[in-house]
Structure 1
Amino acid sequence: MFKNHPKGLLVLALTNMGERFGYYTMLAILALYMQAKFGFSSGTTSMIYGTFLALVYFLPIFGGIVADKWLGYGKTILFGVLGMFGGYLLLAVPSGPDVAGMSMMFAALFLISAGTGLFKGNLQALVGKLYDDPRYQSNRDIAFSIFYMFINIGAFFAPSMANTINKAVLEKQNYVYDAAIPKNFVRLNDKVVDEQKFMTELIQSHSDFDSESAEEQQAIIKKAKEKQGVMFAKDKEEVMFNLKAAGIYQLTHANVIPTAEGLTTDEYTLLESRAKDEQAAKEAVIAKINAFDTSNLPGGSVDNPDAFAESFSAEYVHDSLSTSYSLSFAVACFSLIISVLVFLIFKKSWKSVDVVAGKKNEDAGEANANVPQLSKQEVRDRMIALFLVFFVVIFFWMAFHQNGLCMTFFARDYTISNITPVQNMMFSLLSLIPVIVILYGVYAMVLGLFGGKKNPKVGAILILLGIAGLAGTYFMDVKGATELVKITPQIFQQFNPFFIIVLTPVVVAIFAALNRKGKEPSAPRKIGYGMLIAAIGFVVLLVASIGLPAPSTLKGTSDVLVSPNWLIGTYFTLTIAELFLSPMGLSFVSKVAPPQYSGLMQGGWLAATAIGNLLVGVMGTFWDKLPLVAFWGVLIACCVLSFIFIFSIMKKLEKVAA
Structure 2
Amino acid sequence: MFKNHPKGLAVLFFTEMWERFGFYTMIAIFVYYLQENFKWDQATVTNIYGIFMAGVYFTPILGGWIADNVLGYGKTIIFGAIVMGIGYAIMAIPTDNSYLVFAGLFVIAIGNGMFKANISVLVGNLYGHSEISLKDAGYNIFYMGINVGAFYAPFAAAGIKSFLMNNFGATLAQGYNAGFGIASIGMIFSLIIFTAFRKYYQQADYQSKKEVKVEKDVVLTKQQEKERIIALLTVFGIVIFFWMAFHQNGAALSLFARDYTHQFVGKFTYLLFDVVSLHAILFAIFGLAALLKKSNSSKIKSFGGIFTLAGLSLLIYKISSLPESGKISPEQFQAFNPMFIVLITPIIINYFSKLNKKGKEPSSPAKIGIGMLITAIAYVIMIIASLGLAPVYTLNGSTSAITVSPFYLIGTYFTLTIAELHLSPMGLSFVSKVAPPKMKGLLMGGWFGATATGNYLAGFVGRFYQEWELWQFFLILIVCAALASLMVVFTLKKLKSATS
TM-score, with length taken from structure 1: 0.72
Q: Which runs of 5+ in 2 are unaligned?
A: none
CA contact 1:448–1:454 (8 Å) conserved in 2: no
CA contact 2:60–2:114 (8 Å) conserved in 1: yes
Task: Report the CA distance between 1:627 and its aligned residue.
Answer: 3.0
Task: Report the CA distance between 1:96 and its aligned residue.
Answer: 4.6
The residue that corresponds to 1:97 in the other structure is: 96
Listed one character per residue, the Cα deviations across residues 282-309 of structure 1 (whole Å, up to 9, x for unaligned) are xxxxxxxxxxxxxxxxxxxxxxxxxxxx
**Aligned pair in 2 of structure 1 residues 447, 607: CA closer, same or farther (>3 Å)?**
farther
The residue that corresponds to 2:111 in the other structure is: 115
**Aligned pair in 2 of structure 1 residues 108, 453: CA closer, same or farther (>3 Å)?**
farther
**Aligned pair in 2 of structure 1 residues 41, 540: CA closer, same or farther (>3 Å)?**
closer
**Aligned pair in 2 of structure 1 residues 588, 447: CA closer, same or farther (>3 Å)?**
farther
Task: Report the CA distance between 1:111 and its aligned residue.
Answer: 1.8
Q: Matched residue pairs, number?
A: 499
1:159 to 148, 154, 169: 154
1:141 to 130, 136, 141: 136
**Aligned pair in 2 of structure 1 residues 440, 8: CA closer, same or farther (>3 Å)?**
same
Q: How far apart are the structure 1 equivalents of 2:34 and 2:403?
A: 31
Give the match's secondary structure for 1:131: coil
Equivalent residue runs for 1:358-373 within 5 Å: 358-360=209-211, 367-373=213-219
CA contact 1:11–1:343 (8 Å) conserved in 2: yes
CA contact 1:550–1:626 (8 Å) conserved in 2: yes
CA contact 2:129–2:215 (8 Å) conserved in 1: no
The residue that corresponds to 2:441 in the other structure is: 599
The residue that corresponds to 2:191 in the other structure is: 340
**Aligned pair in 2 of structure 1 residues 84, 373: CA closer, same or farther (>3 Å)?**
same
CA contact 1:418–1:487 (8 Å) conserved in 2: yes
Equivalent residue runs for 1:76-475 within 5 Å: 76-92=76-92, 94=93, 96-98=95-97, 102-132=98-128, 134=130, 136-173=131-168, 175=169, 317=171, 321-322=173-174, 324-360=175-211, 367-447=213-293, 455-475=300-320
CA contact 1:84–1:114 (8 Å) conserved in 2: yes
1:621 to 463, 469, 474: 463
Task: Report the CA distance between 1:591 and its aligned residue.
Answer: 0.7
The residue that corresponds to 1:296 in the other structure is: none
CA contact 1:170–1:321 (8 Å) conserved in 2: no
CA contact 2:76–2:115 (8 Å) conserved in 1: yes
The residue that corresponds to 2:404 in the other structure is: 562
**Aligned pair in 2 of structure 1 residues 41, 402: CA closer, same or farther (>3 Å)?**
closer
Task: Report the CA distance between 1:446 and its aligned residue.
Answer: 4.0
Task: Report the CA distance between 1:569 and its aligned residue.
Answer: 1.4
Listed one character per residue, the Cα deviations across residues 149-168 of structure 1 (whole Å, up to 9, x for unaligned) are 11011111111111111111
CA contact 1:535–1:640 (8 Å) conserved in 2: yes
Listed one character per residue, the Cα deviations across residues 325-344 of structure 1 (whole Å, up to 9, x for unaligned) are 44333322322222122112
The residue that corresponds to 1:588 in the other structure is: 430
CA contact 2:393–2:466 (8 Å) conserved in 1: yes
Q: How far apart are the structure 2 equivalents of 1:546 and 1:638?
A: 21
The residue that corresponds to 2:12 in the other structure is: 12
**Aligned pair in 2 of structure 1 residues 448, 370: CA closer, same or farther (>3 Å)?**
farther
The residue that corresponds to 1:633 in the other structure is: 475
Q: Which runs of 5+ in 1 are unaligned?
A: 176-315, 362-366
Task: Report the CA distance between 1:89 and its aligned residue.
Answer: 2.8
The residue that corresponds to 1:74 in the other structure is: 74
CA contact 2:89–2:180 (8 Å) conserved in 1: yes
**Aligned pair in 2 of structure 1 residues 40, 536: CA closer, same or farther (>3 Å)?**
closer
Q: How far apart are the structure 2 equivalents of 1:390 and 1:432?
A: 35
Q: How far apart are the structure 1 equivalents of 2:316 and 2:275?
A: 14
**Aligned pair in 2 of structure 1 residues 618, 86: CA closer, same or farther (>3 Å)?**
closer
CA contact 1:84–1:115 (8 Å) conserved in 2: yes
Task: Report the CA distance between 1:23 and its aligned residue.
Answer: 1.4
Pair member with larger Rg: 1
CA contact 1:417–1:486 (8 Å) conserved in 2: yes
Q: Greater shift after overlay, 623-632 or 586-595?
A: 623-632
CA contact 1:445–1:452 (8 Å) conserved in 2: no
CA contact 2:280–2:315 (8 Å) conserved in 1: yes
Task: Report the CA distance between 1:77 and its aligned residue.
Answer: 0.6
Q: How far apart are the structure 1 equivalents of 2:358 and 2:306?
A: 32
The residue that corresponds to 1:180 in the other structure is: none
Task: Report the CA distance between 1:110 and its aligned residue.
Answer: 2.0
The residue that corresponds to 1:653 in the other structure is: 495
Q: How far apart are the structure 1 equivalents of 2:128 and 2:382?
A: 41
CA contact 2:228–2:435 (8 Å) conserved in 1: yes
Q: How far apart are the structure 2 equivalents of 1:407 and 1:36?
A: 18
Q: How far apart are the structure 2 equivalents of 1:540 and 1:648?
A: 27
Q: How far apart are the structure 2 equivalents of 1:410 and 1:40?
A: 17
The residue that corresponds to 1:525 in the other structure is: 366
Q: How far apart are the structure 1 equivalents of 2:86 and 2:399?
A: 42
Q: How far apart are the structure 2 equivalents of 1:545 and 1:40?
A: 25
Q: How far apart are the structure 1 equivalents of 2:102 and 2:404?
A: 40
Q: Greater shift after overlay, 373-382 or 551-560?
A: 551-560
Give the match's secondary structure for 1:426: helix
**Aligned pair in 2 of structure 1 residues 514, 562: CA closer, same or farther (>3 Å)?**
same
Listed one character per residue, the Cα deviations across residues 101-154 of structure 1 (whole Å, up to 9, x for unaligned) are x454333222211111000100001101112353x4321111111111110111
Task: Report the CA distance between 1:606 and its aligned residue.
Answer: 0.8
Q: How far apart are the structure 1 equivalents of 2:32 and 2:385?
A: 30
Equivalent residue runs for 1:34-45 within 5 Å: 34-40=34-40, 42=42, 44-45=44-45
Q: How far apart are the structure 2 equivalents of 1:388 and 1:147?
A: 24
Listed one character per residue, the Cα deviations across residues 187-242 of structure 1 (whole Å, up to 9, x for unaligned) are xxxxxxxxxxxxxxxxxxxxxxxxxxxxxxxxxxxxxxxxxxxxxxxxxxxxxxxx
Q: How far apart are the structure 2 equivalents of 1:517 and 1:370?
A: 26
Q: How far apart are the structure 1 equivalents of 2:43 and 2:378?
A: 30
Give the match's secondary structure for 2:5: coil
> Does residue 23 of the first structure (1) align with residue 23 of the second (2)?
yes
Listed one character per residue, the Cα deviations across residues 242-288 of structure 1 (whole Å, up to 9, x for unaligned) are xxxxxxxxxxxxxxxxxxxxxxxxxxxxxxxxxxxxxxxxxxxxxxx
Listed one character per residue, the Cα deviations across residues 631-651 of structure 1 (whole Å, up to 9, x for unaligned) are 222211111111111011100
AA matched with 2:80:
G
AA matched with 2:473:
F
Q: How far apart are the structure 2 equivalents of 1:553 and 1:326?
A: 31
Q: How far apart are the structure 1 equivalents of 2:259 and 2:377?
A: 22
Q: How far apart are the structure 2 equivalents of 1:512 and 1:105?
A: 46
Could you say what the CA RMSD is over the residues aligned between the two structures, in angstroms? 2.3
CA contact 1:447–1:453 (8 Å) conserved in 2: no
Q: How far apart are the structure 2 equivalents of 1:535 and 1:447?
A: 34
